[in-house]
Structure 1
Amino acid sequence: MIMDEASKMNRLVKELLDLSKIESGSFKLDKTAFNLSSLIESVLDKYQPVLVEKGIKVELDIPEYLTVNGDAVRIEQVLVNYLVNAINHTDDKKEIRIQAVIQNEKVRVSIYNSGEKIPDKSLDKIWTSFYKVDKARTRSYGGTGLGLSVVKAIQDLHGNSCGVENLEDGVLFWFEVDR
């Protein structure tokens, strides 16, 4: 239990430091061209044991080779935040879909999970530090309420958009990366 709590505190401190550096303007991106398809598959590989344990099916709809330009480490952080949220909020259908679509000079990556919609009054607030839609449920899996504010800050640094949409049977988070 102590190790679990220490791990949660470590994650909280790292997220706070990242957010602080980004917001202070002292954080610099390391932009390079990289294969987004490989990055997505690598993140999925890391989380495969959790997905199998929870019985979650992941449908992947991405081009085989998709070159983008950005800070690969920070884009991975965005992907991980979205994927962890999808894992933690999926319902009994246990479905996650990841899609990457080329839209002019951008690539839009979306991660959908079957599950409860985010209340309309919370849709704009979820990007705020420490905001949690369901505090009791978030506490059960160790969420800090910082993940989406970190995503927003990273996307702002890249000059790209991110967002969320309630769908009929779940929630879809998306972000853009430069081609």
Structure 2
Amino acid sequence: GDYDIQVEVRSHDEIGKLAIAFNDMANSIHLEEERKKEFLENVAHELRTPLSYVKGYTQAILDGVVKNDEEQRKYLHLISREALRLQRLVGDLMDLSKMESAPFLLNKTPIAYAQFIEDVLVKYEPIIKEKQLDLKLDLDPDPIIFGDEGRMEQILHNIFDNAIQYTDSGGAIHITLIQHKDDCELLVTDTGNGIPEADLPYIMNRFYRVNKARSRFDGGSGLGLSIVKKLVELQNGKIEIESKEKRGTTVRVILPNIKEEWNS
């Protein structure tokens, strides 16, 4: 279990190559063990906070600290919020576990991409109206992708959720779909808070948060973008994020057109 110990390489023959391979294997195992340890620590940390809230609020009700119905409703609302956060975290963890196990099967069908995007956006009409956001659509009707409808909806929901949530009232969101020769490009641009340059390389890492306090309050698990990245890659696509702090963010999702997908 001590991965710092390295086999001394004294030659360049078969024995030397074996020693090098052994050291490489030990380093790989060490790295994987560290990743697992970090992941488990993060999971424990994420579970600890909502559990402590649920326990504390429940105990307050049982101990009679709550004096009236109004306070009791307040505490029950807080318990419900934290229980929902636990539910989301467990769901996200199960999704990640499934996606990283082999094989992870997708139920792919032809999707008229522009219409699919519009159908998903219908669910956001009330909050867009409430926040008085200027939503602009520029969708090429031609792209047809070969994807899993349920997983594609999950991808779009996560991207749209972030754009709406982190754009202040009166801001703007521009959704563009562009057809290229072999693929199509979806761009979701907002005028929101933006992401600091130092955080951008890590934004799709598990449990990574730019604004920890705000993410905890709104119930995010810190796993959303890592799941989106994995889902996009499973459908032979890629995702990129560009952002300027206090100026906004652009999320770019590139997926192969249906002809390119079938040919591959």
Equivalence for 2:247: 169
Following superposition, the deviation at residue 93 of structure 1 comes to: 4.1
Equivalence for 2:131: 54
What does 1:85-100 align with in structure 2 at a 5 Å threshold? 85-100=162-177
Equivalence for 2:108: 31
Q: Is the CA contact 1:38–1:65 (under 8 Å) kept in the aligned structure 2?
A: no
Following superposition, the deviation at residue 5 of structure 1 comes to: 2.6
Q: Is the CA contact 1:63–1:100 (under 8 Å) kept in the aligned structure 2?
A: yes
- Please give the TM-score of this superposition, normalised by the length of structure 1: 0.92
Q: Is the CA contact 1:108–1:177 (under 8 Å) kept in the aligned structure 2?
A: yes
Following superposition, the deviation at residue 9 of structure 1 comes to: 2.1
Deviation above 6 Å: which 4+ runs of structure 1? none
- Please give the TM-score of this superposition, normalised by the length of structure 2: 0.64
Matched, 1:82 2:173: no
Equivalent residue for 1:40, pick from 117, 124, 141? 117
Following superposition, the deviation at residue 53 of structure 1 comes to: 1.7
Q: Is the CA contact 1:12–1:144 (under 8 Å) kept in the aligned structure 2?
A: yes
Instruction: Return 29-38 or 1-10, whichever deviates more.
Output: 1-10
Residue segments in structure 1 that go unaligned for 5+ positions in a row = none
Following superposition, the deviation at residue 56 of structure 1 comes to: 1.6
Q: If you compute each CA radius of gyration, which structure gives the higher value, 1 or 2?
A: 2
Richer in helix (by share): 2
State the secondary structure of the residue aligned to 1:124. Answer: helix
Matched, 1:6 2:83: yes
Equivalent residue for 1:114, pick from 168, 191, 203? 191
Q: Deviations over 1:43-99 (max 9, x none)?
A: 110111121122222111102353211112111111110000001111354211111
One-letter amino acid of the structure 1 residue matched with residue 151 of structure 2: R
Instruction: Return 159-168 or 31-40, whichever deviates more.
Output: 159-168
One-letter amino acid of the structure 1 residue matched with residue 101 of structure 2: S
Richer in strand (by share): 1
One-letter amino acid of the structure 1 residue matched with residue 181 of structure 2: N
Q: Deviations over 1:91-144 (max 9, x none)?
A: 354211111111221111111110222111111111111100010121232211
The CA RMSD measured in Å over matched residues stands at 1.7
Q: Distance in 1 between matches of 2:224 and 2:134?
A: 23
Matched, 1:143 2:220: yes
State the secondary structure of the residue aligned to 2:203. Answer: helix
Q: Distance in 2 between matches of 1:50 and 1:9?
A: 24
Q: Distance in 1 between matches of 2:148 and 2:160?
A: 18
By relative contact order (CA 8 Å, sep 6+), the higher-ranking structure is: 1
Equivalent residue for 1:129, pick from 199, 206, 228? 206
Following superposition, the deviation at residue 8 of structure 1 comes to: 2.3
State the secondary structure of the residue aligned to 1:29. Answer: coil
Q: Is the CA contact 2:236–2:256 (under 8 Å) kept in the aligned structure 1?
A: no
Q: Distance in 1 between matches of 2:83 and 2:171?
A: 29
Q: What number of residue pairs does the alignment pair up?
A: 179
Residue segments in structure 2 that go unaligned for 5+ positions in a row = 1-76, 258-264
Instruction: Return 5-14 or 39-48, whichever deviates more.
Output: 5-14
- Quick one: percent identity of the two aligned structures? 37
Q: Distance in 2 between matches of 1:21 and 1:107?
A: 27
Equivalence for 2:92: 15
